[in-house]
Homo-oligomer: A and B are copies of this chain.
Amino acid sequence: MTKIKAMVFDVYGTLFDVHTVQDACEQHFPEKGQSISSVWRSKQLEYAFLRQLMGQYEPFTQVTKDALHYSLEKHACRYSDEIIQDLMQAYNQLQPYEETKQVLHHFQNRKLAVFSNGPHTMLEPLLQHAGLAEYFDAVVSVDEIKEYKPTTAAYAYVLKQLGVKRNEVLFLSSNGWDINGAANFGFHTAWINRNNLPADKLGQELDKIYHDLNGLKGDW
């Protein structure tokens, strides 16, 4: 295998647990927090994909807010602008997974980057809040070109920003759609299969599969 010159991490679901927002949901809407969070996440992804397909890009902030509205309506929740603001704020304070910081520390001498569907206005506060910003040489957002992952144009963009070749990149994501998109583009891939799910059937081969980020330490 070609020498890996950059490790590129997805953010939501990979470094950070998007479902830590369910506590805030639960606080406003008792007994519905888990379900609200689950629908919120699945609609957030669906809306990003659909907007890309429809040629109607809007930043992930808007997509995330739209998905939150949908989820609250679906759960028959009465809500105010203040509640929306509070839950959107909670999204910028997601908790990293318990091993995230320690694994980034382990690889601190490598070239590390994040590449996310989120815009900088979401990524910077999130990384700052968790004390992870210092570990990354680059924070790259699809918002700079308005092309959501998993299009090849998106992965081509992060590659250009890093100044390496595609087979010198190890891409890491917990999201099936993302890791398969990265493999389709030609990155080396490690799928962080946190929920022990079957592999998605999208015609791609993944290089490595780990249960959490700790698995990286032995192999790379």
Count how many chain A residues have C-beta atoms less than 8 Å from C-beta atoms of the other chain: 32
Residues of B near A177 (CB, < 8 A) are 46, 50
A50 and B201: CB pair below 8 A?
A: no
The reply on A66 being an interface residue by CB < 8 A is yes
**Given A51-B202, A53-B151, 13 extra CB contacts under 8 A:** A49-B49, A50-B150, A50-B177, A53-B53, A53-B150, A53-B181, A54-B152, A54-B202, A55-B151, A55-B152, A56-B203, A66-B201, A74-B197
> How far is it, in angstroms, between the C-alpha of A177 and the C-alpha of B69 when the chains are bound?
16
Query: Main SS of the interface on chain A?
Result: helix
**Smallest Cβ-Cβ distance to A148: which chain B residue:** B53
Task: Report yes or no: A202 in contact with B50, Cβ–Cβ below 8 A.
Answer: yes
CB distance from A69 to the nearest CB of B (A): 6
Closest Cβ neighbor of A183 among chain B residues = B54
Chain A residues 16-51 with CB under 8 Å of chain B are 43, 46-47, 49-51
- The answer to the question of A52 belonging to the interface, with a C-beta cut-off of 8 Å to chain B, is yes
Q: State in angstroms the CA–CA spacing of A55 and B180 once bound together.
A: 12
Interface of A toward B, CB cutoff 8 Å: 43, 46-47, 49-56, 58, 66-67, 69-70, 73-74, 148, 150-152, 177, 180-181, 184, 197-198, 200-203
List chain B residues, Cβ under 8 A from A150: 50, 53-54
A148 vs B53: C-alpha distance when bound (angstroms): 9
A66 to B180 CA separation, bound complex (whole angstroms): 14
